[in-house]
Amino acid sequence: MPLKSMPLEEPAINLTSMLDVVLLLILYFLFATQFIQEEQQYDIQLPTVPDAVALTGQPDEIVVNVEESGLIVVRSEQKSLTELQALLELAREKFPGQAVVVRGDGRVPYQKVMDVMSIVRRAGIRNLSLANRPNPAGS
C-alpha cells in the first residue's frame, strides 16, 4: 500500500523582527540629528582662558643620554647642564608628573651621571629612572 506524502514546505526566513530593528534605528538616528542641529543653532561667543592646559595624558618620559665623552644628548640635540635644566623645568611646569630616564654609557665617569641626576632633581622632577641592560650571563 503506497504511503501518501505531503509536499514539503519551502524554508523561509522571517524578516519581520529584523525590519522592526532597522526601522527603530532609523528613527533613533533621525531624532539624534535633530538634537544636534538644535544645539548648533545658538550663536554664542565662548569665553577664552589664557592659562588653558592640554587635556591629554602624560607625555612620554624624557630620555637624557650621557655619552662616553660626557656629552649630554636629549632628543638628538646636544645640551649643556643649564640648557638641560631649563628644558626639564619647562617640562615640569607643563606636566607636573613628568618622567625622566637617564641613560649613561657604561664607560662614562660616574660624576657625569651624578651631575645630570642633580640637574633633574634641581628642576623639580621626582620621577627619575636610570636605564640599564640585563646581563645575559646572569652573573
SS3 assignment for the chain = CCCCCCCCCCCCCCCHHHHHHHHHHHHHHHHHHHHHHHHHCCCCCCCCCCCCCCCCCCCCCEEEEECCCCCEEECCEEECHHHHHHHHHHHHHHCCCCEEEEEECCCCCHHHHHHHHHHHHHCCCCEEEECCCCCCCCC
pTM above 0.85, yes or no: no
Q: How much of the chain exceeds pLDDT 70, in percent?
A: 78
- pLDDT for the residue numbered 31: 80
| Residue 86 banded pLDDT, cuts 50, 70, 90 | very high
- pLDDT for the residue numbered 92: 92
- pLDDT for the residue numbered 53: 60
Average of per-residue pLDDT across 13-20? 86
Phi/psi for 75 (5° steps) reads: 55, 45
Q: Report whether 127 contacts 89 (CB < 8 A).
A: no
- pLDDT for the residue numbered 108: 87
pLDDT in tens, 23-70: 999 999 888 776 655 555 556 565 666 776 655 666 788 999 999 888
- pLDDT for the residue numbered 40: 53
